[in-house]
Amino acid sequence: MDEDDAVEEAEADFLTLADDGDIEHGDVMAAFLRWDSNGDGIIDKDELLAVFTALGLRIGDGELKSMFEAADISHDKTIDYSEFLRWIFKEAHWQIRNQFLHTGVSWHGVHKGRNAEILEDRLTVKRVNGSKGLELPEGHAIVVSSGVAREFRFLLLDNDGVFRCGGFEAGFSSLPADELPAMPETARELPMSYVSDSKGQLVVDGEQKTTATPWKHYFVPSGTVVDVKCKEGAFQVLLDGKLMADWKISVPDEMDLYPLVSVYGTTQAIKLLPSDRDAKKG
């Protein structure tokens, strides 16, 4: 097979596998080139490991071997572009796919707040000791995703406390992280954003929408799965699959949205989970 035939076959594979309109052919090729560090048109096991290491992902020898073998359909100990396509869309873990194709949600965006730490898909905020006991200011941390998505899911961790005054604000920014101005104390203050605030009210571009009925933002216990969606003319918040907020909101389909979360108080950590959309792709 000559080079032109190989390219045509790869493009055919792409059209078959990449049925998501949010993913462009150029994005996939750019991801492949980032993996192919020496530019020889193929990816070997050392290049694969180097990428994981650069991302801070701890991959054991066994995991690396199984992932590489899953992608290496021809069993020639290298991964070419066609094999790369098949692996990314059919076999790769959703988080790895998001990292390289810049789609979906990643907490590796912009964060602000005292003692905030992002480790892979987990956002952790440590308690801050003030001069008068436990200090629990709002806006411990704000994170804006580096990837475009109109729905995301996270798990509340370490949310139990004697004061029961933790919580979150969640929604979407229409500006990417690198174009945002100085980060405010809370997510609801972000410009060009759509946020469910700490009182369960809808805030658009910093303005509270009094015509939108708030949801009961009571103490949400650890272990709760939160879904946030902005699609098909509605902004929705679900807790463990139960619809809590269903606001009608007009956001153009062509507008890119970047998921965001702000946590505060006794909410000490959240963990990003694959959405239904991610799970179906995986």
- Give 81-133 pLDDT, tens digit per residue: 778 777 776 666 655 665 555 556 766 666 666 566 776 667 776 655 443 44
Which of 73, 101, 129 is the last residue before a domain boundary? 101
pLDDT at 220 over 70: yes
More confident residue, 84 or 1: 84
Domain that holds residue 146: 110-281
- The per-residue pLDDT for 238 is 96
Chain-centroid distance of CA 111 in Å reads 13
The pLDDT of residue 6 is 52
Q: What is the pLDDT of residue 5?
A: 60
Residue 47 shares a structural domain with residue 126:
no
Q: How high is the pLDDT of residue 36? A: 82
Last residue of a domain, one of 36, 68, 101: 101
As a whole number of angstroms, the distance between CA 144 and CA 113 comes to: 13
- Highest averaged pLDDT of the listed ranges 44-53, 232-241, 263-272: 232-241
**What's the whole-model pTM score?**
0.64
Amino acid type, 90:
K
Q: In this structure, are 154 and 249 located in the same domain? A: yes
CATH code of 23's domain: 1.10.238.10
Instruction: Give the residue from 76, 101, 126 where a domain finishes.
Output: 101
DSSP reduced 3-state for 115? coil
Same domain, 140 and 80: no
Task: Give yes or no: residues 86 and 161 share one domain.
Answer: no
154 and 220 within one domain = yes
Domain shared by 204 and 176, yes or no = yes
Checking if the pLDDT of 22 tops 50, the result is no
As a whole number of angstroms, the distance between CA 25 and CA 32 comes to 11
Question: Do 90 and 171 sit in the same domain of this protein?
Answer: no
Residue 228's SS3 state is strand
- Tokens for 23? 């993913």
Residue the block writes with tokens 């076999």: 91
What's the domain count of the chain?
A: 2
